[in-house]
Amino acid sequence: PLSEITVQALSFKYPNADSYTINDIDLSIHSGETIAIVGENGSGKTTLVKLLLGIYHSTKGAICINGVNIELVCRQDLYRHIAFLSQEHTIYKLTLLENLMMGLKDENETTRMSESRIQNVLESVGLKKLLTDSWQDTNIGKEFGGIELSGGEIQRLAIARIILKDCEMVVLDEPTSAIDPIQEAEILTQFIELSRNKTSVIITHRIGICTQVDRIFVMKQGCICESGSHEELLA
């Protein structure tokens, strides 16, 4: 199990960049915690998360998963434990069911997944209206005789997919795109609720959400300039 992620003196520079995007960061994330990462655009939030997930390699410093340097951890094993919803997530022009099953670890799991479990998750992310009699075969995309989803619905479907993957840790990089703020807050709240017993890391620009998390990391110019609970930061 994933019990702790620790980061020591982490710095990162994009190839060909003049300066560091991540500057000497120390942090730790414990099992079961819900963490929000906030900060201005360009402060390095997405880059930090991609480093924590081993998608990028650190320039300096170390990231350890349960005390083992991430560079020594098999990525395939790691990603069995972590579900990541990136800003670049995609909904494919396949059926609704195929889209939902995409993140699962193997075929056995897909076969074992009960219909009621999938229906419950779709309901919990606010997509009950997609549960028609033949919902499993519903195609996504008008050009395939299917349905067209709104930006908010695509977001909800992507969240349903990572909830069904049922990993110990979930990481969400909130898109800053076209969803209206009320819907967005609602989707995030649902996501936090559904991830209660998991380790969760959420990049968000919605400060209101921070009352619902255990700890907040505030980023500025590649550093964590403040961290703590919502009350601690207010104080």
Q: Which two tokens stand for residue 94?
A: 């396949």
Instruction: Pick the binder of ligand ADP from 10, 23, 34, 47 (CB under 6 A).
Output: 47
Instruction: Pick the binder of ligand ADP from 44, 54, 103, 175 (CB under 6 A).
Output: 44
Residue 58 binds to ligand ADP (criterion: CB under 6 A): no
Site for ligand ADP (CB under 6 A): how many residues?
11
Which among 14-22, 24-32, 97-105, 124-132 is the span making contact with ligand ADP, rule CB under 6 A? 14-22
Residue 46 binds to ligand ADP (criterion: CB under 6 A): yes
Instruction: Pick the binder of ligand ADP from 41, 111, 116, 134 (CB under 6 A).
Output: 41
235 vs 144: CA distance, rounded Å: 55
Bridge-based pairing of strands 169-173 and 82-85 is parallel
171-196 b/e with 16+ CB inside 10 Å = b?
bbbbbeeebeeebbebbbebbbebbe
Which among 40-48, 143-151, 194-202, 225-233 is the span making contact with ligand ADP, rule CB under 6 A? 40-48
What is the residue-wise DSSP string for 170-222?
A: EEEE---SSS-HHHHHHHHHHHHHHTTTSEEEEE-S-GGGGGGSSEEEEEETT
Residue type, 25: I
Residue 17 binds to ligand ADP (criterion: CB under 6 A): yes
Please report how close the Cβ of residue 52 comes to ligand ADP at its closest, in angstroms: 12
Residue 227 binds to ligand ADP (criterion: CB under 6 A): no
Instruction: Pick the binder of ligand ADP from 23, 34, 43, 95 (CB under 6 A).
Output: 43
3-state SS assignment for residue 151: helix
In sequence order, what are the beta bridge partners of 35? 201, 215
Largest Cα–Cα distance in the chain? 57
Which among 43-51, 63-71, 78-86, 118-126 is the span making contact with ligand ADP, rule CB under 6 A? 43-51
Please report how close the Cβ of residue 114 comes to ligand ADP at its closest, in angstroms: 37
Residue 19 binds to ligand ADP (criterion: CB under 6 A): no
Residue 39 binds to ligand ADP (criterion: CB under 6 A): yes
67 vs 115: CA distance, rounded Å: 38
Residue 144 binds to ligand ADP (criterion: CB under 6 A): no
Binding footprint of ligand ADP on the chain (CB under 6 A): 14, 17, 21, 39, 41-47
